[in-house]
Amino acid sequence: MIKRWIFNKWADFQLKRLKKALLFPEKHYAITWNNLMNAPKHPLQNQLAKTDDINTLRQLPITNYNDYHDVFKQSLRTKINSLIDEKIEFWCCSTGSTGLPKIIPISDSFIKSRMEGAAFQPAQLIKAFGVYSGAPEIIFVMPGQTQEIAPELPIGQVGYYYYSKMPNWVKKKFVFPKELYKEESLFNEWHLLSALLSDISGISTSIPTRLTHFFKQINLERLNILAHLEKRDWPSIITHKVDEKRIQFLLKILQNPIHQISEVWPSLKFISCWKSGEVCQRQLKDLKSQFDFGSITFVDLTYNAVEGHFNIPGIEGVGGPVNPFGGILEFYDEKNNRYLWPWELKIGGIYEIVITNSIGFCRYRTYDLVECSGYEGRMAKICFHSRANSEISLGWANIEEKELYAALDKANIDDLSRLYFVLNNKGNGLTLCSSDGQLASKIALLNDYLEKSNANYSKQITMGTIEKLSFRQDTNEQYNHIRLKNANSKGLILKE
């Protein structure tokens, strides 16, 4: 009871702080602006005269990752982010659309600014579901870190890094012990059993298909899991504690494949994952069609990337107000060719996010499009809409439209007027549609090229997390007026 009271008081404080910030967004952006302008070093200071006027930011050009690549490459050797003259603590690695690593240096000032806005969704979960004071949670982050690219400095996925920075008492509130996350092979071998050995209150992950894969893997490995349970045979590091009653419960419940999720974890109250965007919407629908979740609540996960937390979703609905802490977000209105602050957005408008933050990024294109769904206080509420460039996310991997053009060329498919690509119904693969049934014979060639040219796509195919390209004969010749909104594509990728 004392723990619950303490957590509730902390949550009340955080939500009160958020409510006040959403009423005065200009004030909090002014604070962030002044922090960047008065930091020991930041690229803003080299390009602008010192001023309190945040609108002077608009004098600077728009940038993308290529503008920072050479600086970051040099930083691999010096271990200093020379953009801000600060020691690098960790390299965050993103596979990108082709599996080639995009690495971003994380240092102390960025950690502090990012953490400033990271408390609000946990605070809402505490108030709604009593997290931290009951059964533990499952939180999925990409396990492991490597030193192959940056000797003597850890490099890995952003989720793993922020998990590793949590206090030990917080880590113990999650099912997977920190030792299990250290090596990807160890995690892959034992995380199913680790997850089953505890009752849980919640699950958090990014893409819904991660959960579909997780539950299906339990069923595929069910007999192997039962054998370990019967022998009490597993490494001690995969669980915080062993409960004999839980083991007996699992030996009974796993005699059949799992379907009703609350039967496996009776204390499970919520699942937090991304719910916006065409891909995640299809993946979530597919997840719910395969398993029964009963009264378990699905909560939209914070929309975030390596560069920061972009919104703060509520318990219900999709999306939430722009995070007023940690960075300066601008929103590009392509239709009117103008940049707006988050208190100037039009409800229903589609905008591209541009960020300035303490990594040293100045007006950095994220290539993410968001939709304004309303307001909370004076701050716009946003949710992810699609990618601004011609690529499509399959959750675990991306495919660029130029890769599809190259694959068609490799397969000697010249007439592009009678074919198009769509998401499959599960949102974890693409389907080639055409009135020409003979193209079905080319699918193997297309798949072979895509797997050879896109390392991450190939890896996820092998793991079974995404599906290979499939074919569907379609006699409808009126598809050209419908474009796949998720990809915002210009040619091949269309919406059914």
pLDDT at residue 484 in the model:
36
Task: State how far the alpha carbon of 99 is from the alpha carbons of 93, 94, 459, in Å.
Answer: 11, 8, 9
pLDDT tens for each residue of 199-223: 999 999 988 988 999 999 999 999 9
Establish if 487 belongs to a structural domain.
no
pLDDT at residue 144 in the model:
59
Which residue shows structure tokens 């000697």?
412
Q: Are residues 233 and 373 in the same domain?
A: no
pLDDT tens for each residue of 306-318: 888 899 999 999 9
Establish if 307 belongs to a structural domain.
no
Establish if 250 belongs to a structural domain.
yes
User: Is the model's pLDDT at 19 over the cut of 50?
Assistant: yes
SS3 (DSSP) at 303: coil
Establish if 370 belongs to a structural domain.
yes
Q: Are residues 238 and 254 in the same domain?
A: yes
Q: Are residues 260 and 159 in the same domain?
A: yes
Q: pTM for the complete prediction?
A: 0.84
Establish if 493 belongs to a structural domain.
no
Q: Are residues 114 and 212 in the same domain?
A: yes
- Take residue 331 and report the two structure tokens written for it: 């929103």
Q: Where are the beta strands (DSSP E) in 140-184?
A: 145-146, 155-156
Final residue of a structural domain among 266, 300, 334: 300
The DSSP code sequence of 319-361 is: -EEBP-SSEEEEEEETTTTEEE-TTSPPTT-EEEEEEEETTS-
Establish if 129 belongs to a structural domain.
yes
CA-based Rg of the chain, rounded to a whole angstrom? 24
Task: State how far the alpha carbon of 134 is from the alpha carbons of 130, 174, 262, 269, 323, in Å.
Answer: 7, 11, 16, 11, 28
DSSP 296: P
Q: Are residues 418 and 286 in the same domain?
A: no
Q: Are residues 277 and 419 in the same domain?
A: no
- Take residue 204 and report the two structure tokens written for it: 């958090």
Banded pLDDT at 112 (limits 50, 70, 90): confident
Residue range 277-305: mean pLDDT, rounded: 92
Final residue of a structural domain among 247, 266, 300: 300
Instruction: Please give the residue range of the domain that contains residue 353.
Output: 322-387
Q: What is the pairing mode between strands 391-393 and 308-309?
A: unpaired
Q: Are residues 350 and 410 in the same domain?
A: no
User: Is the model's pLDDT at 486 over the cut of 60?
Assistant: no
Q: Are residues 197 and 258 in the same domain?
A: yes
Final residue of a structural domain among 331, 353, 387: 387
b (16+ CB within 10 A) / e for 71-88 = ebeebbeeeebebbebeb
- Take residue 432 and report the two structure tokens written for it: 């080639």
Q: Are residues 415 and 468 in the same domain?
A: yes
Q: Are residues 364 and 273 in the same domain?
A: no
Q: What CATH number has the domain bearing residue 469?
A: 3.30.70.1770
Q: Are residues 76 and 95 in the same domain?
A: yes
- Take residue 152 and report the two structure tokens written for it: 């003597």
Banded pLDDT at 489 (limits 50, 70, 90): very low
Q: How many domains does the chain have?
A: 3
pLDDT tens for each residue of 223-250: 999 999 999 999 988 888 888 999 999 9
Which residue shows structure tokens 């020991």?
40
The DSSP code sequence of 49-97 is: ---S-GGGGGGSPPB-GGGTHHHHHHHHHH-EETTTTEEEEEEEEE--T
Q: Are residues 117 and 257 in the same domain?
A: yes
Establish if 37 belongs to a structural domain.
yes
Among the residue ranges 52-61, 142-151, 289-298, the one predicted with the least confidence is 142-151
Bridge partners, 472 (sequence order)? 433
Establish if 495 belongs to a structural domain.
no
